[in-house]
Amino acid sequence: MTQPHYTQKGALPPRHAPGSGADGLTRRALLGVLGGTALASLGGWRLAQYVLRIEPRRLQVSHTTVAAPLTAPVRLALISDIHIGPHVEVAWVRQVIAAVAAQQVDLVLLGGDYVTGSTDGMPALAEALAELQPSLGVYAVLGNHDYWTDADAVLHWLRLAGVMVLVNAGVELATAGGPLYLAGLDDAWQGRPDLEVALAGHRAGLPTVLLQHEPDPAAARAADDRLLLQLAGHTHGGQVRIPGLGAPVRPPYGEHYVAGLYALERSQLYVTRGIGVTSPPVRLNCPPELTVITLAPREAAL
């Protein structure tokens, strides 16, 4: 299923300090939103069944095209926020990875937050990820939940699966359309992101895709003409979206850029809604997302 995304513009307001709730997705706030929605909907029980059991497992495949200085298109898949753990079972993750494989992309990118609270599910996730064999490889960054849980263990299992984890690092990819630079940053909340270190191997003029977990820091790089496209997750799209209001609950470092494609000063930013959930484990008007982005030659993208 294809979901179109609109291009959004706007200046980034001052960021609030991180709150006490994990990711700012506080149980009280989300349940308050759901409670108010339930009063005007099908009824509390039916709504609860939908937001807990149905929508969180309705994977949506979104397709976006970004013009790039390439001679042939490059297709990449982006997934983020798997959160394998108490609310996200292994069987669902395997379904998602199978859906990624079915897209037959050139490159797979993983946006962080693979676990919640425990790394017990990482062996199963690594086994599933090892099945992915795109021609340009599988690359990843870490997220705040990976640090809160056990970043070393997450790194171990990702690498065992053949995933290259980019922690302030980059790599030049030889694509069918010409060279492409891929860089990845450390987590903005719990790590030490360093763009200049990540771009240390960048050659002037190469189009660059920058992978990061949290989206809001992208605003500080909006005028950087080395960057073609920035990619992020973290927000889960808000998990709950109210028509006319959007996402009333947004995490620190994800308060301004929540979901979809945004036009920055010199580049673009795409924020994917993620695969899993954090507590409370609900989604409403915000299904999980597998994002497929085509970097198309500029003439073909017009």
Q: Please state the rounded mean pLDDT for residues 217-233.
A: 97
Q: Is the pLDDT of residue 119 over 70?
A: yes
Between 29-43, 48-62, 208-222, the lowest mean confidence (pLDDT) is in 29-43
Q: Kindly report the CA angle at 84 between 81 and 89, in degrees rounded to 5?
A: 125
If you average pLDDT over every residue of the chain, what do you get? 89
The pLDDT assigned to 36 comes to 55
Confidence grade of residue 29 (pLDDT, cut at 50, 70, 90): low
Q: Which CATH architecture has domain 24-301?
A: 4-Layer Sandwich (3.60)
Given a cut of 50, is residue 165 above it in pLDDT? yes
The per-residue pLDDT for 15 is 36
Q: What is the pTM of this model?
A: 0.88
Rounded CA separation 22/189 (Å) = 11
Q: pLDDT band for 95, please (50, 70, 90 cuts).
A: very high
Query: What is the reported pLDDT for 46?
Result: 81
Which of 34-38, 81-85, 288-292 has the least mean pLDDT?
A: 34-38
pLDDT tens, residue by residue, 231-285: 999 999 999 999 998 999 999 999 999 999 999 999 999 999 999 999 889 999 9
Q: What distance in Å separates the CA atoms of residue 259 and residue 232, rounded to the nearest whole number?
A: 9
Which residues, including other chains, have CB under 8 Å from residue 39's CB and lie 6 or more apart? none
Give pLDDT, residue 278.
Answer: 92
Q: What is the pLDDT of residues 40-54, one digit of tens each?
A: 555 677 888 899 999
**Whether residue 18 has pLDDT greater than 70:** no
Residues whose CB falls within 8 Å of the CB of residue 208, separated by 6 or more in sequence, listed in order: 170, 180, 181, 182, 183, 199, 202, 226, 227, 228, 229
91, pLDDT greater than 60: yes
- Tell whether the model's pLDDT for residue 3 goes beyond 50: no
